[in-house]
Chains A and B, each alone.
Chain A
Amino acid sequence: MIALLLRDLKIAVRAGGGFGLGLAFFLIVVVLVPFSVGPQSSLLASIAPGILWLGALLACLLSLDRIFALDFEDGSLDLLATSPLPLEGIVSVKAAAHWLTSALPLVIAAPFLALMLNLPAAGYFWIVLSLLLGTPALSVIGTFGAALTVGLKRGGLLLSILVLPLYVPTLIFGAELARRGVNGMDTQTPLLMLAGITFATIALLPFASAAVIRINLR
């Protein structure tokens, strides 16, 4: 398992694109927002948590189709499926690799982009916390979507259509947690719900992902 994680990380680092593209996309989305809604600092500050969450979510989505596509094309997925590693473990590792290479850089970049949106000082902690807590769920849910569409010819667009509705609860509680934190409101409920969603998806969804991979490899 650890070998697989290290291999995926190594490949992502050597290919280079893994970190860069998602981050660049996140940056561009955030930069485009003031152009579309106007430059008033107060307006930007009030919508900053939502913009950062939406940007991070879309940037995550962008890299989902690569979770299994390369392994499927070069035959590694067949070989992994016949290896001693349980498929549930393989999909969990894939989700972890996606989080480390695609989502974690976004979490780290978020405070810097928040600066450009005039986020109040109290908000930085909550932005980072909510993203740190919520993005693992995005990676795990996205891995399920990637597993569903592996091997499909027009998989990319279909993947988005399948995954985005599944992202709704995570987005609602994540952005709500950030917003409430920024405004100094009670954060307990969204915090618990977000953590609950993340841990429940990490614990349960790999079984569904492994099942659909088996179906797709047949």
Chain B
Amino acid sequence: MSERRSLWEYANPRKFMGLSGTILPWITIAGGVLLVVGLIWGFFFTPDDYRQGSTVKIIYLHVPSALMAINAWFMMLVASLIWLIRRHHVSALAARAAAPVGVAMTIIALVTGAIWGQPMWGTWWVWDPRLTSFLILFLFYLGYVALWAAVENDDTAADLTSVTCIVGSVFAVLSRYAVNFWNQGLHQGASLSLDPEENVADIFYYPLLVTIAAFVLIFVALVLLRTRTEIRARQLRAYMARERMQ
């Protein structure tokens, strides 16, 4: 083993448990505070939109959850690649831990989208490309979670779900293009983009950034917590197996 410290050391379960145990409370608190601040700021200290009225304020939940729904999948993809290439157990467990959080984010995005769409478009659901893509993403999450649950051997499950995640990512992107082609929709363009012309007004923009940061921190906290729980659960299983063998 070389003396040089590297990032991969934190993939060691012992290191991971130590570090994550230290930072978890801080991330949780920071995420909670930012969420409260961002929502209060957004709900009570920004004006109503001249066209959409107060309904626009659901943006503070809708946009962050939608972003995290996609980023959670992306994180799972990266973690899956790391598992397949370097075989760090923590990586596979982090991917597993992120999936249900991603499911929750997707549901929040879909529900808030429907609630927002009702007064805007006059209907709870339209087969708009963006909405449809999220629905398809939701289905991909379900398959991924179901596969983890169905395979008994942990390493086999990690391998199979990793390959599924990679193949699924390709098909998810393909589905996005297919859906775009299939129906040009009602949904407005991206709320956030580098092009200032497309962006929402500054007054909505800053509290939105705060809630997005809050969602990121809450996501990280949940994933860390779930990964730690899974590591502990595996330790327990290993000790029980050891007792049986003696």
Direct contact of A and B (CB under 8 A): yes
Of chain A, the residue at the smallest CB distance from B167 is A208
Inter-chain contact B178/A173, CB cutoff 8 Å: yes
By a beta-carbon cutoff of 8 Å, the part of chain B in contact with chain A is 136, 139-140, 142-143, 146-147, 150-151, 156, 159-160, 163-164, 166-168, 171, 174-175, 177-179, 181-182
Rounded to whole angstroms, the CA-CA distance of A35 and B177 in the bound complex is 34
Inter-chain contact A158/B146, CB cutoff 8 Å: yes
Contact of B139 among A158, A164, A193 (CB under 8 A): A164
- Measured between beta carbons, the chain B residues less than 8 angstroms from A152 are 150-151
- Is A168 located at the chain interface by the 8 A CB criterion? yes
Q: Which 7 A-B pairs have the closest CB atoms?
A: A165-B139, A172-B178, A169-B178, A162-B143, A169-B174, A215-B159, A168-B175
Rounded to whole angstroms, the CA-CA distance of A144 and B151 in the bound complex is 16
Residues 105-144 of A contacting B (Cβ, < 8 Å): 144
Inter-chain contact A144/B167, CB cutoff 8 Å: yes
- Measured between beta carbons, the chain A residues less than 8 angstroms from B159 are 212, 215
Q: How far apart are B159's CB and chain A's nearest CB, in angstroms? A: 4
Inter-chain contact A148/B181, CB cutoff 8 Å: no
Inter-chain contact B147/A158, CB cutoff 8 Å: yes
11 new A-B contacts, CB < 8 A, other than A158-B147, A162-B146, A165-B139, are: A148-B164, A155-B150, A161-B139, A165-B143, A165-B171, A166-B167, A166-B168, A172-B178, A197-B174, A211-B163, A218-B156
For A, the interface residue count at a CB cutoff of 8 angstroms equals: 28
Q: How far apart are B137's CB and chain A's nearest CB, in angstroms? A: 9
- Is A154 located at the chain interface by the 8 A CB criterion? yes
Interface majority SS (helix, strand, loop, mixed), chain B? helix
- Is A205 located at the chain interface by the 8 A CB criterion? yes
Rounded to whole angstroms, the CA-CA distance of A158 and B179 in the bound complex is 24
- Is A41 located at the chain interface by the 8 A CB criterion? no
Inter-chain contact B171/A168, CB cutoff 8 Å: yes
Rounded to whole angstroms, the CA-CA distance of A155 and B160 in the bound complex is 14
Q: A144-B167, A161-B143, A208-B163 are in contact. Are A172 and B179 (CB under 8 A)?
A: yes
Q: How far apart are B76's CB and chain A's nearest CB, in angstroms? A: 15
Of chain A, the residue at the smallest CB distance from B179 is A172
Rounded to whole angstroms, the CA-CA distance of A10 and B150 in the bound complex is 33
Inter-chain contact A189/B146, CB cutoff 8 Å: no
- Measured between beta carbons, the chain B residues less than 8 angstroms from A154 are 150
- Measured between beta carbons, the chain A residues less than 8 angstroms from B182 are 172, 176
List, sorted by A's number, 12 A–B pairs whose CB atoms are closer than 8 Å.
Answer: A152-B151, A158-B150, A162-B146, A165-B136, A165-B140, A168-B136, A172-B182, A197-B174, A208-B163, A208-B167, A215-B156, A215-B163
Inter-chain contact B181/A193, CB cutoff 8 Å: yes
- Measured between beta carbons, the chain A residues less than 8 angstroms from B166 are 208
